[in-house]
Structure 1
Amino acid sequence: MSEATCLQSILNLQSVWSNQDNQVTSHFSHDLFSTHSGDLSTPSLPSVSSQPVPLPFPLSHGTTTLAFIFQGGVLAAADTRSSCSGLVACPAAQKILPIHSHLVGTTSGTSADCALWKRILARELRLYQLRHGRRLSTRGAAKLLSHMLHPFKGTELCVASGFGPCLFYVCSDGTRLQGTLFSVGSGSPYAYSILDQGVEWGLTVEEATAIGREAVYRATHRDAYSGNCVDVYHVSSKGWTRRSREDLKEEYYREKEQREKDKSRSTTGSE
Structure 2
Amino acid sequence: MDTLVSKYANAASAASFDTADNLGENLAGWDAANEFALPAFDIPMVSNPVDFLRAHTDASAENRIRIQHGTTTLSFKFQGGIIVAVDSRASGGSYIASQTVKKVIEINPYLLGTMAGGAADCQYWERELGRRCRLYELRNKERISVAAASKILSNMVYDYKGMGLSMGTMITGWDKTGPQLFYVDSDGTRMRGERFSVGSGSTFAYGVLDTGYDYNLSVPDAIELGRRAIYHATHRDAYSGGSINVFHVKESGWEFIGNYDVGQLHWDYQAQPKGPIS
1:212 match: 226
2:147 match: 139
Matched residue of 1:177: which SS? strand
Letter of the 2:199 counterpart: G
Give yes or no for contact 2:172–2:182 (8 Å, CA) kept in 1. Answer: yes
CA distance in 1, matches of 2:175, 2:4: 46
1:74 match: 82
| Aligned residue among 252, 256, 277 for 1:238 | 252
Give yes or no for contact 1:162–1:237 (8 Å, CA) kept in 2. Answer: no
Matched, 1:254 2:268: yes
When Rg is computed on C-alpha atoms for both structures, the one with the higher figure is 1
2:177 match: 163
Q: How does 1:80-229 map to 2 (within 5 A)?
A: 80-150=88-158, 151=160, 152=165, 153-229=167-243
- Relative to the length of structure 2, the TM-score reads 0.73
Give yes or no for contact 2:110–2:174 (8 Å, CA) kept in 1. Answer: yes
The share of aligned pairs that are identical, in percent, is 43
Residue 250 of structure 1, CA deviation: 2.4
CA distance in 2, matches of 1:87, 1:194: 27
Of residues 56-65 and 220-229 in structure 1, the stretch that sits farther from structure 2 once superposed is 56-65
Residue 56 of structure 1, CA deviation: 5.0
CA RMSD of aligned residues (A): 1.8
Residue 188 of structure 1, CA deviation: 0.2
Matched residue of 1:259: which SS? coil
Letter of the 1:97 counterpart: I
Where in structure 1 do 4 or more consecutive aligned residues deviate above 3 Å? Answer: 50-59
Q: Which has the larger share of helix?
A: 1
CA distance in 2, matches of 1:76, 1:251: 18
Matched residue of 1:51: which SS? helix
Letter of the 1:51 counterpart: T
Letter of the 2:3 counterpart: Q
CA distance in 1, matches of 2:107, 2:128: 10
Give yes or no for contact 2:67–2:118 (8 Å, CA) kept in 1. Answer: no
Residue 52 of structure 1, CA deviation: 3.7
Residue 244 of structure 1, CA deviation: 1.8
2:9 match: none
Matched residue of 1:76: which SS? strand
CA offset digits 1:59-85 (Å, max 9, x no partner): 321000000000110100000000011
CA distance in 2, matches of 1:95, 1:253: 24
Matched residue of 1:149: which SS? helix
CA distance in 1, matches of 2:234, 2:272: 19
Matched residue of 2:84: which SS? strand
**Runs (5+) with no aligned partner, structure 1:** 1-49, 264-271
- Relative to the length of structure 1, the TM-score reads 0.75
CA offset digits 1:104-144 (Å, max 9, x no partner): 01110110111111110000000010001011211111110
Letter of the 1:108 counterpart: A
CA offset digits 1:195-230 (Å, max 9, x no partner): 101111111111111000100011011100000100
CA distance in 1, matches of 2:137, 2:181: 21
CA distance in 1, matches of 2:192, 2:118: 23
